[in-house]
Structure 1
Amino acid sequence: MSDYKDPLLQQETPKAAFQQIFKIWKPHIASLIIGIIFSLIALAFGLTLMSSAGGKIAFAAMGMMVISSVFLKILGAGRLLMRYVERLYTHNVMFKAIADLRVWFFARLSKGAAAGLGFRHSGDVLSRLVSDIETLDGLYLRLLLPFAGSILTFFVLICVIGSIHLPLAICIAVLYIIAGFICPLISAFITKKHGQTLLNSVAELRITVLDFIHGLREIRAFGAEIRVEKLLNDREKILFQKQYQQAKKIALMSFLSFVFSQIAVLLILAAALNIGFHGIGAAHIVVCLFLTITAFEVVIPLTRAGGLAGQIINAATRVVGVNKGHGYDVPKGSEEASEQTDIQLNSLGFQWNKDRPWVYRNLNLNIAQGERVAIIGPSGVGKSTLAALLLKVITPKEGSITLGGKDLAVLTEESVRKKIAWLSQNTHLFDDTIRQNLLLSYPQATEEELWQALSEAAVADVVKAMPDGLDTWLGEGGIKVSGGQGRRIALARTLLSKAPILLLDEPTTGLDADTEMEFFKILNQISSDRTIILIAHRLTGAEKLDKVWRLSNSCLISEK
């Protein structure tokens, strides 16, 4: 329930974040540029329509028919059509770009969270995946498109009014620059820091809500509902207050931008009265007036976009920095793992960060193909870290790990995972059917193979007794089955992978003694042709093992 602090905003620069985002969007760059062109064409139709309409009114008042009604109808229809095409096209392109960004985010997230290396609050991850990524669509739709339009409008404004009266054009241009560029920049500068705190407040509220949802039973048991409700209300009020503060600042800058637009209109009206500007005809005054009003309507929304720029910048740093301080560079490798599955740890050394102590140094271990071994030790000694090293989720700082005589560094991650099936202490069952949970490890599995895996895990009879069999919905976290049944389904999923090595990291955590004994009895009866690596705090005595090592003080001590 402590306040959430996001360290990533100080670790990822906005420049690097946007470079990465545009790199992800590279396949869509041509489409994004076409969207900008459509937007400019639609804007050009609008500017031409308004200035021409003003000219028609002025010339008609003087008894002249310089501009035809047909021409105005064509402009009006063209503007309507191009605005529709532009909106449809740009939003469609942005949806695809945002989808690619979400896929990239998930891929980065999986590298940091794999092998049980969970690294931050789920509410924070959800906030990045939903709110922050959705905020980034404003980078194109609210910033780039309007900015490109404002540049075009500026040149049209200068050229048209400048051809009529240069001093007036210069004054209008100065006001346009202040309203359309300086006010949005000031708005972005003011709200940049506020945008960071706003995103943190959203993440903090989500973290709190998810945490309390997961702990509802404990909250009810201790009668803490009122206290929890008060805490949620307090954090929601903080979020609303920060949103109000940002909205107030953006509204102030929008008001100033509007004021400068009205000053521009007053200058044109003054020119109509020959005050300060002389020699402009009535028809030209009307053209300038219509064009100026239209031009400032284009840039006034930029002030609001500028106010959101700070939020967009911080959203970019949070999304791109998803693994900042948590991800680990692992050599990709180019070779396939060999058929042999002997494992060797040669003078292995590993530490999570340079400022943290070494987990191991000079660690050596040999596991022959087909052996059943156990590595035991107390919490925090590095057992799960060893599992992450074997799965090539992280890489040694010293020494090497070989699989079938080949260094893991030269092997592809996919070939390593095909050789090693992993069952962790926090095995997750997805909110889906039993069938889909099993197919996660081997999508090509036949119906017979699915039932064979369930039979080997001694849970086939349980599944057959369910009304929908393999298509039974497990619910979130496998809530519709007991802990023992869920662990056996997870074991069946692991066995289905056909991997020759089974890596079991505390597979019976949370199970009662009887269920734990049954689990190991099942394990003893199956997989006689596979290598079994059991990682545990202790042994129950039900395991059938060839060797047992105790991990202590960065050393492996043989106990069997």
Structure 2
Amino acid sequence: MKSTENREFSRQARREGVLAPVLQILQIWQRRAPLLTAGALLSLLALLIGLLLMRAAGLRVAAMTVGMLVVTTGALRIFGASRVILRYTERLVTHDAMFRALADVRVWFFRHLARGAAAGLGFRRAGDLLSRLVSDVEALDGLYLRIIIPLAGALLVLPFLFIAINMVDTELALVVSGLFACGAFGLPLLAAILGRREGGLVSHASAQLRIGVLDMVGGLREIATFGAEGRMRDHVHARDAALFRAQMRQARMLALAGAASYLCGQAAVVAVLAAALGLGLPRIAPLPAAAVLFLTVAAFESVGGLTRAGALAGSITRAAARVVAVGAMPEHAPPEGTEPAPAGTDIRFEHVTFRWDAHRQPVLDDLSLTIAAGERVAILGASGAGKSTLAALLLKVVAPEAGRITLGGQDIATIRDDDLRGRIAWLSQATHLFADTIRANLLLGRPDADEAELWAALEQARVADVVRDLPEGLDSWLGEGGASLSGGQGRRLALARVLLSRAPILILDEPATGLDARTEQEFLLTLNEVTRGRTVILIAHRLAGVEKLDHAWRISGGKMAGIGA
């Protein structure tokens, strides 16, 4: 399994670029550009003041040893106070800018996830999604705080350092500046190249561990039933060990990068001391030697984290790639419409062909179907026959390969997504109840509904008495997945939410799956009553015998055949 996952990771890594995801993240941050730029400028100004302070402090310390006064205490106080104020302001601005920028990334992530992952598209593993949303998004703060700002500082320090030392001695300026360039640019670049694979492996191993843990927690009942506790525990331990190994390799890389950067700084200090003693370099006077020494130490300290950041660049760029991957349009993505939804609700599938995989047979093959406004129809078929694909096409989650679908005579490809989905409500076997109050779950269907409308929907769904008996009524907490309700009660609550939407078209996708025979019949009888006057499309494996239908069709081999009603 380990080798398989590593091969999968390697293929993914080859597909991902390095700069393209980072540039896309920067584009998402575009609206925060003024705040991000202000933070960077404050950081550079604080850095410059710090260099001037260290140079002045070196001159004063050296001058005091020989009884001279080169720099006054007032000047040092001004430099010191300015640096403290600027550093504090810079931290406030940069971190505020980063928090806002990360919030923008999360909003972008959710928006694109909702567009591309509906009805099973996009991410299929909750652990991987959680890893991208939490760990990968949080890792992006390093792009600005650990790479962009320190790199901008290094670009400022290098010419300042060379000019300041060149005023004392050109040869020493070249040596120190060369070592600085090596520590600030060369070593970080090398660390980024060498550390990209390790950083990517850490992200991959972390996601795999989350997937394993969530699978284990979500399937505890099944694991206990089949006595698989030991196997699942070993599986999670193996993924934890893989993450530990990846982190250890990355830690060694970080240690080596930090050591190399430290040695560059120490070599520059040795060069300055050698020049002060006249060993191998032109001798310089004590006063400028002290100023150069203090300035050199401050300069290298300002970029000491860049080499380490370079080693972490692999994790950051990989995190950026994993986050922006959600924005990639699915293979079957429908076009974004611009027209409002028409008044009519007649539905027509005109010679529609669709396949999920280009290498397989079509799920729907030249299928035509007409559903008049207000009709109640059933679409039957075996698993994989294409029943739910019809719903996905009608909801404009995917687009047909050939043919078209019309609503009220208008091609749904031209209709705005929100307008289209405002005319269609969907209830499925997997309808989710959120870990929130009953009221909040109902308001998802129509946020402006008042309390009377909420109770009316509950009455229609025949679950009002259950809600009244709860201690907090509408404000009762449901628990994760509606755990405080039975399966039938939860399905009725989901139905009440659908009824609140007032959509003229209802798609009922296996709405009674998982219910016992008696609860299923009661639920379907309720559906018969509360859906009068609306177009109802019932998708099911079989009929229970209590449905009131105008037409019924069976899908097989991509074709539709009428079976009577």
* 2:556 aligned with 1:552: yes
* 2:441 aligned with 1:437: yes
Q: State the 1:402 CA deviation.
A: 0.4
- Change in Cα spacing, 1:424 to 1:323, as seen in structure 2 (3 Å) is farther
* Matching residue within 533, 537, 551 for 1:529: 533
The equivalent residue for 1:251 is 255
SS at match of 1:423: strand
The equivalent residue for 2:267 is 263
**Cα offsets for 1:17-50 (capped at 9, x unmatched):** 1222122111011211111100001101110100
Counterpart contact for 2:276–2:283, Cα < 8 Å: no
Distance 1:397 1:515 in 2: 39
Q: Which amino acid aligns with 1:191?
A: G
Distance 1:268 1:10 in 2: 45
* 2:297 aligned with 1:293: yes
* 2:324 aligned with 1:320: yes
Distance 1:372 1:163 in 2: 89
Counterpart contact for 1:425–1:507, Cα < 8 Å: yes
* Matching residue within 526, 531, 547 for 1:543: 547
* Matching residue within 173, 178, 184 for 1:174: 178
Q: Which amino acid aligns with 2:70?
A: V
The equivalent residue for 1:361 is 365
* 2:93 aligned with 1:89: yes
Q: State the 1:8 CA deviation.
A: 4.6
Counterpart contact for 2:116–2:329, Cα < 8 Å: no
- Change in Cα spacing, 1:148 to 1:238, as seen in structure 2 (3 Å) is same
**Cα offsets for 1:55-87 (capped at 9, x unmatched):** 111222232212110110111111111111111
* Matching residue within 474, 497, 519 for 1:493: 497
Q: State the 1:229 CA deviation.
A: 2.7
Q: State the 1:176 CA deviation.
A: 0.8
**Cα offsets for 1:444-495 (capped at 9, x unmatched):** 0011110111111111111111111111111000000000000000000001
Q: Which amino acid aligns with 2:410?
A: K
Counterpart contact for 1:115–1:388, Cα < 8 Å: yes
Using the TM superposition, name which of 410-419 and 316-325 deviates more.
316-325
Using the TM superposition, name which of 236-245 and 305-314 deviates more.
236-245
Distance 1:308 1:493 in 2: 47
TM-score when normalising by structure 2: 0.96
* 2:164 aligned with 1:140: no
SS at match of 1:234: helix
Distance 1:455 1:401 in 2: 35
* 2:404 aligned with 1:378: no
* 2:134 aligned with 1:130: yes
Q: Which amino acid aligns with 1:225?
A: E
Q: Which amino acid aligns with 1:537?
A: H
Counterpart contact for 2:349–2:368, Cα < 8 Å: yes
**Cα offsets for 1:235-285 (capped at 9, x unmatched):** 212211211111111211211121121111111111111112234211000
- Change in Cα spacing, 1:229 to 1:329, as seen in structure 2 (3 Å) is closer
* 2:24 aligned with 1:28: no
* Matching residue within 202, 211, 220 for 1:216: 220
Q: State the 1:296 CA deviation.
A: 0.8
Q: State the 1:330 CA deviation.
A: 1.9
* Matching residue within 413, 416, 423 for 1:419: 423
Counterpart contact for 1:8–1:318, Cα < 8 Å: no
Counterpart contact for 2:122–2:330, Cα < 8 Å: no
Distance 2:266 2:121 in 1: 58
Using the TM superposition, name which of 346-355 and 404-413 deviates more.
346-355
Counterpart contact for 1:112–1:328, Cα < 8 Å: no
Identity of aligned residues (%): 51
Equivalences for residues 299-314 of structure 1 within 5 A: 299-314=303-318
* 2:514 aligned with 1:510: yes
SS at match of 1:25: helix
The equivalent residue for 1:428 is 432
The equivalent residue for 1:393 is 397
* Matching residue within 449, 453, 458 for 1:449: 453
SS at match of 1:149: helix
Counterpart contact for 1:11–1:324, Cα < 8 Å: no
SS at match of 1:540: coil
Using the TM superposition, name which of 97-106 and 111-120 deviates more.
111-120
Q: State the 1:324 CA deviation.
A: 4.7
RMSD value over aligned CA atoms? 1.5
SS at match of 2:360: coil
The equivalent residue for 1:198 is 202
SS at match of 1:362: strand
Using the TM superposition, name which of 88-97 and 229-238 deviates more.
229-238
- Change in Cα spacing, 1:356 to 1:83, as seen in structure 2 (3 Å) is farther
Return 5+ residue gaps in structure 2 as ranges.
none
SS at match of 1:366: strand
Counterpart contact for 1:328–1:394, Cα < 8 Å: yes
Distance 2:473 2:122 in 1: 33
Counterpart contact for 1:40–1:148, Cα < 8 Å: yes
Distance 1:391 1:258 in 2: 59
Q: State the 1:325 CA deviation.
A: 7.6
The equivalent residue for 1:231 is 235
Distance 1:271 1:117 in 2: 66
Q: Between Structure 1 and Structure 2, how many residues are aligned? A: 560
Q: Which amino acid aligns with 1:433?
A: T
Counterpart contact for 1:359–1:554, Cα < 8 Å: yes
Using the TM superposition, name which of 278-287 and 491-500 deviates more.
278-287
The equivalent residue for 1:14 is 18
Return 5+ residue gaps in structure 1 as ranges.
none
